[in-house]
Amino acid sequence: MAESAQPRTAAHPGGTGRPKVLTSYDPRTGEVVGDYAIMGSGEVTRTVRAAHAAEQWWAAIGFDGRKRWLLDWKRAVARGTRELVDLVSAETGKPRLDAAIEVTAAVEHLHWAARSAEKVLGRRTTGRFRHTRQASVGYRPLGVVGVLSPWHNPVLTAMNGIACAMAAGNSVVLKPSELTPGIGAWLADSWSRLAPNQPVLQVVTGDSTTAAALCRARLATISYTGSPAGAREVTALCAQHSTPLLVEQGGRGAMVVQVDARLPEAAAAAVFGAMANAGQNPAGVQCAYVAESVYEPFLDLVAAQARQLRPGADRRASYGPMTLESQTDVVRRHVRDALSRGGQAVVGGLDSIRTPYIEPIVLTEVPEVSLALSGDAVGPVLVVNKVRGMDEAVERLGSRSRSVAVFTRDVRSVPEFAERLKTEVVTVNSAPVYGTDGPGRTRDEQRLRDFARPLTITEKHRRDPVEQSTFERHPQHLRLARMIFRLRHRV
C-alpha cells in the first residue's frame, strides 16, 4: 500500500460502466508491460466468495492431497521459469540473473512447503497430564487468507505467504503491488490452468483502494509485507473488522566490522548488501560501523569495489533502475541531508542520481540524526562510519536496525556481542540475504503455523484421584491427593 501517488503505473477510465485500468510500465524504458483491472469492492467480494467455496474442498483433501497438487503446481511454475523471469525483469527492472535467482528461490520454497506441511502441522501426541489424560495437537486451516505482496522481490515474497497458506489448507487471495500486477496475475493464472474449477489461489489487481477492500472483506487473516507506513495503514484497516494480521516490515540493517575482520570479505559484503537490486532489498546494509584502526583500509576497499559497479538495462549492468520512481527523490533528499550535516562523499554524490538510475554512492562521517541513517533507506547508498570500539557501535546502532552483520575472526565472541544489540537477526561474516535471514525468511516452520489454528484433543485414560469434571468428590480422595501433593513437593 501507500504506492498510488507515484507515476510508475497509471489508472485510466475504461468507459461508462467499465472498471478503470492499471497500466504497468518497464522502469528501464517506460514501455507498457500490461494493463490490469483496478478491482473494486464488488469484484473483491465475488473473489472472496469463490475462495470460501474452494477452501472447503482444499481443506477436505488433507495433507497428502494438497501435497500432490502443490508439487504439480511447482512443476508448472518451474516449467514457466523463463517467462516469469522475463516478467520480473520487465516490471521491476532487475537484471535477468537477479530475477532468475528470485524465481528459483520461490520454486524451492513452494517445494519445501508442500513436503513439510504434514510434518509441521500434522497431529502428534504431546504428553500426559497427571498420568490420567493423554493429549495430542494438530493444526487446522484458518479459511481464506489475503496476501498483500510488495514490489521488491515480488515472486519470492508473494510465494512465501502463498505456499505456506495453501500447504496449511487455506485458499488465498493475492493482491500484488500496483507496480508488479503482472507477476501476481501470472502466479494465479498458473494455478488456474492446473485446477480451473478450484480457485484455491486467485488474484485481485488494483491500487490501494483494492487492498483496502480486501482488508475489509472479513478474511481469516491478512499477510502483509512492506514498508512501515503501509503496515500502519493495513493495521488500521484490519482493526475495523478485527481481522488478524501478519506483518513483516522491511528495513535495511547495519554492519559492524571489528579490528580482526577479514577486510576484503567485509568490504565485498558491505557493497553487495547496500547496492544489490539498486539498494531495494529489504534485507541489506545501510551503514557499516568500522573499528577505528581498520577504518581507512576498509573504506579504500569499499570505494574501489563501488566504483566498479554500473547500473543499466543491459546484461552487463550490476543492477537496474529504481523500481519505485518516487524513491529517487527520497535518495536525493537523504544524500543532500547527509552532506549538509557534515557527511563526506567518497564515491558519487548528488550528481550520481539520474532518474531512473542511481550510480553507487558511498558516504562517511554521517551523523546519526541524518535522514540517510534515521530514514527508511532505499537506494544504492552505503554509509561507512568510524567507531572507537564495539561499545560505541552498540550505542550508535540503538534499536534502529532489524539485522546486523558482524565481521570478526573471533566467532566465539559474537553471541555475547549480539546479546547487547536490540535487533532481530545477527549474521556472522556475511551480509543478510532476503529470504534467508530475518523477516521474509523462507522455509520457516513458524510461517506454516502462522496460517493454521492449533486443535488440541485430550483423552481420559483412568480415574483421577480427585475428580475435577464431576461432583463425585469423596473426602478420602481429597486426603489421598493432599498426601501425594506433600510428597511430591516436600511440604
Q: Is the separation of the CB atoms in 403 and 424 below 8 Å?
A: yes
250-280: b (≥16 Cβ within 10 Å) or e: bbbbbbbbbeebebeebbebbbbbbbbbbbb
Cross-strand pairs, 23: 10, 35
What's the pLDDT at 34?
Answer: 97
Note the pLDDT of residue 188: 98
**Three cell numbers written together for 452:** 493454521
How do residues 197-206 score in pLDDT, each as one tens digit? 999 999 999 9
Residue for cell digits 494480521? 245
Q: How many CB atoms lie within 10 A of CB 355?
A: 12
Mean pLDDT of the chain: 91
First-residue to last-residue Cα distance in the chain:
60
Q: Is 307 left (phi over 0), alpha (psi -120 to 50) or beta?
A: alpha
Please give, one letter per residue, the 3-state secondary structure of 196-247.
Answer: CCCCCEEECCCCHHHHHHHHCCCCCEEEEEECHHHHHHHHHHHHCCCCCEEE
User: At which residue does the C-alpha cell 544504492 appear?
Assistant: 380
Domains and CATH numbers, the chain: 21-249 (3.40.605.10), 252-428 (3.40.309.10)
Distance CA 442, CA 104 (A): 12
| Nearest-angstrom CA–CA distance, 491 and 480 | 15
For residue 330, the surrounding DSSP H or E stretch is helix 326-340
CB atoms within 10 A of CB 59: 19
Compute the distance between CA of residue 457 and CA of residue 391 in angstroms, rounded to an integer.
51
Please tell me the predicted confidence (pLDDT) of residue 1. Answer: 59
Which segments of 240-325 does DSSP mark as H helices, in order? 263-275, 295-307
Q: Which residues contact 239 (CB under 8 A, 6 or more apart)?
A: none
Q: How many CB atoms lie within 10 A of CB 50?
A: 17
- What is the Cα gyration radius of the chain? 26
In Å, what is the CA distance from 135 to each residue of 120, 124, 456?
A: 17, 9, 7
Model pLDDT, residue 16: 44
Other beta carbons less than 10 A from residue 189's beta carbon = 13
Residue ranges in the chain whose pLDDT is less than 70: 1-19, 127-132, 437-440, 461-473
| Torsion-angle region of 438 (φ positive above 0: left; ψ -120 to 50: alpha; else: beta) | left
Query: Partners of 171 in the beta sheet?
Result: 144
| Nearest of 443, 432, 41 to residue 214 by alpha carbon | 41
User: What stretches of 340-416 adopt beta strand conformation (E)?
Assistant: 344-347, 353-354, 357-358, 361-364, 381-387, 403-407
Burial class (CB in 10 A: 0-12, 13-18, 19+), 101: middle
Name which of 220, 266, 223 is nearest 408 in CA terms.
Answer: 266
Amino acid, res. 30: G
Say what the pTM is: 0.90
Whether the ω angle into residue 356 lies within 30 degrees of 0, i.e. cis, is: yes
pLDDT computed for residue 7 by the predictor: 44
Q: Give the integer Cα–Cα distance in Å for 11 and 254.
A: 38
Tracing cell 504428553 back to the chain, one arrives at 127
d(CA 353, CA 359): 6
Angle between the 181-194 and 62-79 helix axes, to the nearest 10 degrees?
A: 120
